[in-house]
Amino acid sequence: MNETGTDKNFAAAISIIAITITTIIFLIQKYINSKFRFTMNALHPIEAKEVKGIKAIFAHIFCYGIVFLAYAPQLYVFYTSFQNTSGKLFVAGYSFNSYIEAFRKVGTAIKNTFFIGGTALCFIVLISVLIAYLAVRRNSKLNKVLDTLSMVPQVIPGSVIGIALITGFNKPNFTLVGTFLIMIIALVIRRNAYTVRSSVAILQQIPLSIEEAAISLGTSKLKTFFQVTVPMMLNGVVSGALLSWITIITELSSGVILYNYKTITLTIQIYTYVSRGSYGVAAALAAILSSVTILSLVIFMKVSKNQNIMM
């Protein structure tokens, strides 16, 4: 099934193959991690040594070269977004015409991106905090299964989730395909894992004795959860939510199957403009999306007080 295809049976068969492959790889990765995990304790830890001379020069050239190659396509997108265009061709000269046309034609896509993404993020935060609390504080086999299931969508292709939602919610008397609701559901399913893992990690660092002390002083469990536990989890939850937000606003694979003209988002709009050959407007939209993503990453690093995005 592509953006306009209708062969659901064939799409379902391909989806099962994709799920099987990704699940096998995921299980192999978990097995390898469990077998080769180790810790190292040393009286005199290894110290970093400053490299000097020709080795330092080559090391800097290599590192900066890799970074430059990684960012070169993105920089070129920013460059082409300011070039003048004539039809499908770039012509001499620079201007803001592509940005003006982008805001004039796709204001709805930009608004939809923030509305759908913001709504999905609210549900993600709520669900993730509850799953984390159940997995850490109410440890049971059922809650462990719930925690594991929350990670499954991370290894399932977005197109597979889109096809599953179409198959399940495209009935004669119950059609959600093309609505804001199904777009939000798809994003919650796809991007919940980041916030769940971050919430679980931060909650594991909070001593249970703090909650027990609040309860022993007469506070109800519900009040303790919202007034003691959640505020202490806030740093980890916000870090995970920002990562979820970044992946939400750049999501394409599930949305391109589920959207219609009323629910089109920025990434899907970029895809459609590229398909039509309108590269100037597509570059302008891509530059806008990249700027939002970079801003989100900066906020993430400030909130988490960390210079990387590894969880």
Residue 13 pLDDT class (50, 70, 90 cuts): confident
Residue in 243, 238, 179, 177 with CA at minimum distance from that of residue 3:
177
Local structure of 170: helix, strand or coil: strand
Q: Report DSSP state, residue 229.
A: I
Distance CA 147, CA 130 (A): 10
C-alpha–C-alpha distance, residues 268 and 186, integer Å = 14
pLDDT of residue 184: 93
Quick: pLDDT tens for 141-166.
Answer: 787 777 777 777 877 888 888 888 88
Record the tokens describing residue 206, joined without a space: 């909070």
The residue whose two tokens read 């719930």 is: 146
pLDDT at residue 183 greater than cutoff 70:
yes
Q: What is the pLDDT of residues 237-292, one digit of tens each?
A: 888 888 899 899 988 888 888 888 889 999 999 998 888 888 888 999 999 989 88
Under the banding of pLDDT at 50, 70 and 90, the label for residue 4 is low
Please give the domain boundaries of the chain with CATH numbers for all domains. 107-304 (1.10.3720.10)
**Angle at the Cα of 258 (from 257 to 263), degrees rounded to 5?**
125
pLDDT digits (tens, 9 = 90+) for 47-82: 777 888 888 889 889 999 999 999 899 899 999 999
Q: What percent of the chain has pLDDT over 70?
A: 90
